[in-house]
Amino acid sequence: MRLSVLGRVAAGAVLLLAEYGVIGVCFDGGDLWRRGGWVAGLANAGQVFTALIIVFTAGCLVHFRQLLRALAEVSASSSAPSLGWGCIHLALYGLSLFAAFAIFGVRRPHEIELLLVALGAVAGVGALAALMRALFGSSALQLTKVLARAMVAGGLLAVLAWQAGVRFQDAWPRLARITLTFTAWLLGKLSGEPIYVDYAYAELGLRDFDVQIQAGCSGVEGIGLVLVFVAGYIYRFRSELRIWRALWLLPVAVALAWLANAFRLVALVAIGAWGAPAVALGGFHSKAGWVLFCGVSLAFVLLLNHVRWFRHGAAAAPAGATHNPTAGYCMPFLSLIALSLVSGLFVAGQLDRLYALRLVAALAALAWARGYWPELSPSWSWPALAWGGLVGALWLLLLPQDVDANRAMHAELARLGTPLAMAWLACRVLGSVLIVPLVEELAFRGFLLRRLASREFETVSYRDVSGFGIAGSALVFGALHSSWLLGSLAGVAYALAARQRGLLADAVLAHAATNVLLAGWALGAARFDLLC
């Protein structure tokens, strides 16, 4: 596949990212919501865009091979990019902006507002079509069909996950009695104390702490999500699996997810009853379900990958395989994320008092994986520092202050007392400056940036990474941050820093420079929301 086609994909992604950034800066859906009327329904349009991005990403993962084949065919047959269609794209995008400014401006008659909404929608869709034509010429229709199938697949997965969650929530009145009976029995065995249970109101309690378990927070939605995830994984890798054996895992997945959720409810009540009600109703209540979903889902992935009974003999994972470069580059980051989820269970507000555990896990993983990245050695680069400083400056200029989070952080640090608050801040700053840049750059620039170019990513030089890899890794990197736009721009900058001299160390240095600037500003200006 020629670089030119991948370059076009990257150029299109960067252009759309910039145009989306203009929309994000110029318009706030809250203005429409406060104005009222029928246009107030458009206040959540930004969430629709986010949902479309998630659906598109899921569809591309399912149709990854088909997309690569389509790009290869485009590479062999497409004509040169069209400047004329590019101008049409910009004109249509400008027309959609005109409609948006008019909608967000003064109140107009109902008919005029409806016409403006229709004009903006048609112009936006037309702008996307014109961009495809500009980038891929006569092959745009062929590629659009593949992308449309990916969107349909992603949409189907989204609908299945949503409906599975809804249906299991609807079943909560029927599941409540058996769940409460089991959790009360288990809680009584663990505590040796009387347990309060009210089946009519789905209440469960121990000592002076009790909770009412409603359908939305019962955890049964996660059972449906686990079912869809395992079924989707089996479908995606159906060519490698003994399909009828693998399908037997679906009822097992449902049963295990229910059992894990019962233990979650036991832990929730126990934590609240034994001295930490704020933790139980805070971080544990909101995040324990996600931890269990990830744990159960990954357990089934490991089972399907490593138990030969479920796989065709030729596709089974070699029992003696020990060299795993993907794990070497990704395990430090995954360890950091895993401990973030676990320590987040015990957060009552904004401040994670167990933050140091994340660093310990990351350092242990770095020590284990250090032999996998021989190309990483200390290096100094003024251009890399400039890239990092630019990202930090943009972050401070464009990211608004979260007043509520900043106030909460100040209050929680004050409650810690000066010595502990200073220790926590020191740990947080050292982690963001020394550990986080290293583990994130190993995963996103060391692995993903090059993996998008070749399965044998270790052989890909950082100087030779494609625009497609830069854009793809940056977009995924941006999804981890509070501002998807700024995070994606940061990912592009760090990739360019690595490509300039062909050194991953330059990306790490640029990332560290950004975090030094943000941490310094957080401490100097008391903007502790930057440390959340």
pLDDT tops 50 at residue 3: no
Q: How does residue 517 score in pLDDT terms, banded at 50, 70 and 90? A: very high
User: 342-376 pLDDT, tens per residue?
Assistant: 887 777 677 888 888 899 999 999 999 988 998 88
pTM for this model (two decimals)? 0.66
Average pLDDT for 18-28: 76
Residue 20's pLDDT is what? 78
In the chain, where are the structural domains located?
Answer: 3-165, 172-311, 325-531
- Dihedral (CA of 239, 242, 244, 247) sign: negative
Residue 82 token pair: 């069209």
User: 128-158 pLDDT, tens per residue?
Assistant: 889 888 888 877 887 888 888 888 877 887 7
User: 407-434 pLDDT, tens per residue?
Assistant: 888 888 888 888 888 998 999 999 999 9
Our CA dihedral for 418, 419, 425, 427, rounded to 10 degrees, sits at: -170
Average pLDDT for 228-239: 85
- Using CA atoms, how far residue 100 sits from 31, 35, 40, in Å, is 12, 15, 14
Q: With contact defined as beta carbons under 8 Å apart, do 435 and 362 qualify?
A: yes
Residue 6's pLDDT is what? 66
Residue 1's pLDDT is what? 43
pLDDT tops 90 at residue 496: yes
pLDDT tops 80 at residue 449: yes
Least confident of 60-64, 106-110, 165-169, 240-244: 60-64
Amino acid symbol at 430: L
Q: Which residue has the higher pLDDT, 274 or 275?
A: 274
**Partners of 203 in beta bridges:** 198, 212
Residue 122's pLDDT is what? 92
Q: With contact defined as beta carbons under 8 Å apart, do 235 and 250 qualify?
A: no
Segment of 113-117, 327-331, 402-406 carrying the highest mean pLDDT: 327-331
Q: With contact defined as beta carbons under 8 Å apart, do 425 and 530 qualify?
A: no
Strands in 209-212's sheet, in edge-to-edge order, are 195-198, 203-206, 209-212
Output the average pLDDT for the chain.
84
Q: How does residue 4 score in pLDDT terms, banded at 50, 70 and 90? A: low
- Using CA atoms, how far residue 298 sits from 303, 366, 467, 521, in Å, is 8, 22, 31, 39
Q: Is residue 442 packed enough to be buried (19+ CB in 10 Å), middle (13-18) or exposed (0-12)?
A: buried
Residue 2's pLDDT is what? 46
Average pLDDT for 481-497: 89
∠ Cα 250 314 295 (to 5°): 35
Q: How does residue 160 score in pLDDT terms, banded at 50, 70 and 90? A: confident
The number of residues making up the chain comes to: 532
Which residues are CB-neighbours of 454 under 8 A, at least 6 positions away? 460
Of 98, 57, 44, 2, which is closest to residue 488 (Cα–Cα)?
57
Residue 350's pLDDT is what? 77
Residue 492's pLDDT is what? 92
Residue 448's pLDDT is what? 92
Token pair 């140091």: residue:
356
